[in-house]
Structures are given as C-alpha cells and as structure tokens.
Amino acid sequence: MKNNSYAHVMARRNEIMKASVGIDYSIYETGNISFDYERMMNDTGYDLDFIRKIQAESGVGNTPLKELKNINKLVRKISRPGYGARIFIKDEALNDSGSFKARRASLSCYHAKKLGYEGVITATSGNYGAAVASQAAKFGLKCIVVQECYDSKGIGQPEIIEKARACEAYGAEVVQLSVGPELFYTFLKLLEETGYFNASLYTPYAIQGVETLGYEIIEDALKLTGKLPKAVIVTNAGGGNLTGTARGIKQATSKKVEIIAASVNLKGLHMASDNDFNRKSFTTGHTGFGMPFITNPDRSDVPRSAARPLRYTDRYVTVNQGEVFFTTEMLVALEGIERGPAGNTSLAAAISIAQELPESEIIVVQETEYTGAGKHHQAQLSFARNMGIEIRFGNPEEEIPGKSIILPDSVAKIKARDLNLEQIRASLIRNATRNRDYITASDLEFLVVETNSDREYVKAKISELQKRWEEANA
C-alpha cells in the first residue's frame, strides 16, 4: 500500500505524470532551464492533416467564420472617419460540446484510446471538462472530471455548476471540491488509483488539437474576404488556446498576422482564495490565470507545458467584467447570436481595437462558447448581486474586481487596455532563473525564444537580476 498523504502523493507527482501521459519529459531537457520544445511537439507523431481527419470524425472543427455586420456598423459610428475594421467570429460554439476545447479533447481522447487506456481524467472547472466527457463518450472511454466548485460555505458558482451538469450529461463522473490545494492532490491520487490517461490541457496533444483552429481561421478568411486578418484576438487564460491557434496560423501562412491576447481584468483577486472565489464572475479567460501562466508556463499539471503563450504574443490587452457582459448582450441584441460571456472577452477587446484600424482591415475573434443555465450572463450577474457585488451602468474605468461590475453606459467606453509585454518578459526571465546557479548557452537561447525577444535583451535582464540579487545579499 502506498502512502497517500498529501506530502507523499506530491512527492510522486513526476512518476504519476509520466505514467498517465506516456511522455518521458526528461529526454527533452537540454540545460538547467531549456528543453527541446519543438521536438516534444513533433514526437506526438500527428500532423495537421491527420488531426483534422480525427476531428472531423468526432464532431469537431470546420466551424463557420461569421461577420458581425450590425456590430461593425455600430463600431464605425464611434470610430473616426475611414476607421472601424470588420470583425468576424469563429463560431466554436458549434462544436459538439459547445466550445473550442473540443479540439483539445479530441486528440487527447484519440491518443488515450490508441495507447489502450481505459479512461481519461481532467482537472478543470471549465468547458474543457465537458469537452473531454463528450469526446470520451465518442471513443468509448470512461471519464472523471475533478472540479474546484465551492467555497468553504458550500456556495458554488452557477457557471461551474452548469458545467458539472454538462459533464454528467455526457456520462462523466464529476468530483467536486472546495477551493484550495486539494484539487491537484486529488487529481494525482485519482490518476494513480485508476491508471487513466491524463487529458491535461497542457500536453502536446491538447495544443496540437487547437492548431486546426488557427489553420481554419486563415482558410476561412481567405475564402470569405480574399485577404488575411490583420489581427486574431484570442481569449487567454492558461495559454494553450493562444499557443495552438498561433501555431496553426503559422502553418497556414508565412505572412505576419498579429496575435493579440485578451483577458478579463481580475486584478486584486486571488484565484486560490476562499474569500475571492465567488467574487469573480469569470472562471476562465481572466488575468488570474493569464498572468501567472504567461510568466511561468510550467506551473501547469505536467512537467513541461506545451502551452508557451509569450512565444507567440504580439500584444496583450485586458477588458473589464462589465464590458464583457455588455458585449455579450450586444451580440444577442444586434446579431441574434447567444454565446457565453467568457468567450466574448476577445470580442469586447475587438470592439475597441477595430477602432484603431482602417475599414479595409479585418479582425478575427478566435472563438465563441455555448451558453445556457448557469453560464448565461444574466445568471452570472444575478449571482454577483447576491454576493454583494455592486452592478450598475457607468464608466467601466471605475470598476473594482470583487466589489463592482460596471456596464458601460456607452459603447464608446469599451476599452482594450494594454499590458506591458516588457514587464511580462522580465517576469518570465526572473521566474525561470530563480534558484539557478548558472545559465548555459542552451538556456540563453531558450529564453530568447520563450520571451520572443533577442539575445542582448535576455543577457541584459539576467545581468540586471544578478545585480539586484547581489545588492540584496550584500
């Protein structure tokens, strides 16, 4: 009998992960920090054409690209003359499980079946759980979804409870936990006990599944408009959505398409805090995940995450909760398309960014998600009000996460606010080099690619960090 105390299970995490994913991550290590990312991705043995075939057979992909003609007219009314780029959405809600995450789940479940695993497990409170449950049903696999669902008072967010309902409808067993460190512990223990496949969001299979989305965006844009998008805006949380989409775009065209990350601003709220857990109205697509994962990708549930968002990000913006809810209602009222709030994060950003670009340009909002029951924006607002959050119309700049949700009293007040990529790069370098006695040549080149910068920049940042360390310990 193995010791299943928290300390012992966590000590076995690498052993458990290796058995549950079938990847020996150690063979990719090339330095103290560096690893061969592209080799890890290529070693899956799946190319884009094969993945598209697998997805087509399992109700995933080939979703429509739709122009938001009425919203575009409104954007041009508030733009200066000649400006207001055309906004298109890639309607991923039409995948079988209702979100782009069906793409991530499809290849993972296919691979688990191919390797002979009896079932799959995922730890998520989001759409990915439903996606894995749906794909597991198609491949005849058992499925367990571990959710962080409640605070210590037993109060659960309506969106998370809705997603649990969806998972159970697809035949999955749902293990619901309160907020805290027991999520990862329980996840590891279940992986070890069942011997199931770890359908993590951060394996190469999950990221490659999203590459088809990026490829389709280019195909669809060329077919509908005869031109490439000026920018693709991606709702960003753990970084896999952005990474996979960008990699797919790069396979479809060698020309530059700007990749813009967008997250809901939840500054000041702690994602693992019992007090803050129910004071946010978004469970994904927010800075509480976006910032930690872009500056430290390997904080995920596998030894080396295949989601490396900073490598591909040209710009990172935030929008406020009230702006996303307002945009969600706008999509329903003006376009007759009812979609979930989290997926509209990038649409809210697009309404602002479109005003920066000429009418001749196009912007693609990379995904939508299904809505219903607890996921609906009205249910989320009602829950927030019951939790004591102030909800009103006004200036979104006055919104304070955890205390207020301010719906803009004018479309012109929806603003995409730029985050400082320079600071994000510096933070990644600081996290990567912490507690390292020395940096190898391989590490240096790795950090250049990781930060989407150059050798001189990385060397200067490392020297700056070294100087600060020496001053602090003088």
Full pLDDT tens readout for the chain, 474 residues: 789 999 999 899 888 988 899 899 999 999 999 999 999 999 999 999 999 999 999 999 999 999 999 999 999 999 999 999 999 999 999 999 999 999 999 999 999 999 999 999 999 877 899 999 999 999 999 999 999 888 889 998 888 888 899 999 999 999 999 887 788 899 999 999 999 999 999 999 999 999 999 999 999 999 999 999 999 999 999 999 999 999 999 999 999 999 999 999 999 988 778 888 889 988 889 999 999 999 999 998 888 999 999 999 999 999 999 999 999 999 999 999 999 988 899 999 999 999 999 999 999 999 999 998 788 999 999 999 999 999 999 999 999 999 999 999 999 999 999 999 999 999 999 999 988 888 899 999 999 999 999 999 999 999 998 888 777 776
- CB atoms under 10 Å from CB of 122, counted, come to 31
Listed by start position, the domains of the chain span: 6-48+99-200, 55-97+205-418, 421-472
Given this model, what pLDDT does residue 373 score?
79
Q: What is the pTM of this model?
A: 0.96
| Cβ neighbours of residue 376 closer than 8 Å, sequence gap 6 or more | 340
Distance (Å, whole) CA 354 – CA 302: 37
231 CB-side CA count, 13 A: 27
Q: Is 90 helix (H, G, I), strand (E, B) or coil?
A: strand
**What type of residue is 389?**
I
Domain 55-97+205-418: CATH class, spelled out: alpha beta
Give the length of the chain.
474
21 CB-side CA count, 13 A: 27
Given this model, what pLDDT does residue 385 score?
95
Which CATH number, 3.30.980.10, 3.40.50.1100, 3.30.930.10, 2.30.130.10, labels domain 6-48+99-200? 3.40.50.1100
Strand 231-235 and strand 142-150: pairing? unpaired
**Which token pair is 65?**
């690209």
Query: What sign results for the dihedral spanned by CA atoms 176, 59, 64, 240?
Result: positive
Q: What is the Cα gyration radius of the chain? A: 22
Distance (Å, whole) CA 411 – CA 364: 19
Given this model, what pLDDT does residue 327 score?
98
Distance (Å, whole) CA 347 – CA 349: 5
Distance (Å, whole) CA 412 – CA 78: 6
Q: Do 6-48+99-200 and 55-97+205-418 share a fold?
A: yes
CB 348 within 8 A of CB 319: yes
Given this model, what pLDDT does residue 18 score?
86
Distance (Å, whole) CA 250 – CA 239: 17
